[in-house]
Amino acid sequence: MTSTQSPQSVVERAPAKVILIGEHAVVYGHPAIALPFPPLSARGTAVPAAAGVAIRSDRYSGLVARLQEGYEIPKPLKPAAEAVRGSLEAIERAGGVPRSFDLYLESDIPPGSGLGSSAAVAVAAVRATFRFHDREAPPALLRMLATRAEAIAHGTSSGLDPTTVSAHGPIRYVRDHAPVDLNVVKPFGLVVADSGTTAPTGQMVMRVKSRLDEDPQAVARLAELGALAERAVQHLEHAEYPELGRVMDEAHLILGSLGVSTDRLDAIVTAARSAGAFGAKLSGAGGGGCAVALVPIERLRPVAEAMMAAGAPMAWPTQYLIESDKP
């Protein structure tokens, strides 16, 4: 690979994501509501190199993915490698000259916790690759490349996670469609709390699939989640947060009936409600991972404390959405 001018090191980021309503149902074509969660993020740092492209990640120290003919990419780095390879191909198709660089991927998003860690890493990798070539990834291409990386990481991806972590605020998303930005007119509080255990997204998606194969009622439950997502759009855009909280409570019950909650998640969401949250639910694929509570801003701290007292090792109380929080 050749350089046409002296490239500079670049750093690009992508935030975590939180699903308000619609995880799992979105895989089957129902709408979902999700939003980027900037307190946690992934970073990609591209540094000029003498030759070739090498990718490393703080999660897999000692492993390196080299984009060269015949090189066996280590499995954990395959999603990022694919995202970078796709980016370079797109840059070349658009008349750019691929440059040599080392890409360092870092993330403070807990993996396997429903916060879109792998999607954020993929989006940061694509953004850094484009920025290193003095370009910006077109939004649809960014989503497509990150969704492809997600499919490698998890086996199945609705595209919700990569679409959310590349959005600028809450979105309504339907699989295979461009996202619709939702309008927030009044800030609200969110507490995201980790239940302390993780579960692979792909496994949880398969668990729901087996439910659907065995239990005809499960199909109707997914449709109910889709209907809740439509109600959530209305409540969010009209700042009807108590009503939105109740929709989240209903969604948690349905997710539990699909087999993706845990006792710890149930305890954490119950504690959030008792401490004054408008509503709370698990967020993401479940089986562990995070819960999210919608909270009056003045109750952020007590709700976070209650969620931790119920067993969450970490909680992130956040005021959403003030301009400076936008990714």
What does each C-alpha distance from 51 to 72, 104, 251 come to in angstroms?
A: 18, 16, 51
Q: How far is CA 293 from CA 121, 188, 196, 211, 235, in A?
A: 25, 11, 16, 26, 15
Least CB distance to ligand MEV at residue 40 (A): 14
Residue 218 interacts with ligand MEV (CB under 6 A)? no
Q: If binding is defined by CB under 6 A, does position 275 make contact with ligand MEV?
A: no
Of residues 55 and 149, the one with the C-beta less far from ligand MEV: 149
Query: Residues 125, 160, 280, 294: which binds ligand MEV (CB under 6 A)?
Result: 160
226 binds ligand MEV (CB under 6 A): no
CA–CA gap between residue 209 and residue 156 (Å, rounded): 11
Find the binder of ligand MEV among 10, 14, 20, 27 (CB under 6 A): 27
By CB under 6 A, residue 162 contacts ligand MEV = no
| Residue 24 found at the interface with ligand MEV (CB under 6 A) | yes
Give 327's Cβ-side CA count (13 Å radius): 25
- Taking the complex as a whole, the smallest distance from the CB of residue 204 to ligand MEV amounts, in Å, to 6
- The Cα 213–Cα 50 span in angstroms is 53
Q: Which residues belong to the active site?
A: 161
The answer to the question of residue 137 lying near ligand MEV (CB under 6 A) is no
> Among 107, 157, 166, 198, which residue sits at the site for ligand MEV (rule: CB under 6 A)?
157
For the bound state, the minimum distance from the C-beta of residue 181 to ligand MEV, rounded and expressed in Å, comes to: 19
Closest residue to ligand MEV, Cβ-based?
158
Q: Which stretch binds ligand MEV (CB under 6 A): 17-25, 78-86, 273-281, 295-303?
A: 17-25
- Using CB under 6 A as the binding criterion, the count of chain residues that bind ligand MEV stands at 14
Q: Could you tell me if 264 and 311 are in contact, meaning their C-beta atoms sit under 8 angstroms apart?
A: yes
- What's the token pair of residue 123? 């989006």
Structure tokens at 161: 């996670």
- To ligand MEV, the closest distance from the beta carbon of 319 in angstroms equals 23
Instruction: Give yes or no for residue 194 binding ligand MEV (CB under 6 A).
Output: no
Decide if residue 198 touches ligand MEV (CB under 6 A): no
Instruction: Kindly tell me which residue out of 123, 205, 300, 310 binds ligand MEV, with binding defined by CB under 6 A.
Output: 205
Nearer to ligand MEV, 54 or 280 (CB): 280
> Is residue 254 at the binding interface for ligand MEV, with CB under 6 A as the rule?
no
Longest CA pairwise span in the chain (Å): 61
**Interaction of residue 262 with ligand MEV, rule CB under 6 A:** no
Q: Which of 161, 163, 251, 255 binds ligand MEV (CB under 6 A)?
A: 161
Q: Give the range of 8-16, 23-31, 56-64, 231-239 binding ligand MEV by CB under 6 A.
A: 23-31
Angle, helix 263-274 to helix 300-309, in steps of 10 degrees:
150
User: Would you tell me which residues interact with ligand MEV (CB under 6 A)?
Assistant: 19, 23-24, 26-27, 114, 157-158, 160-161, 201, 205, 284-285
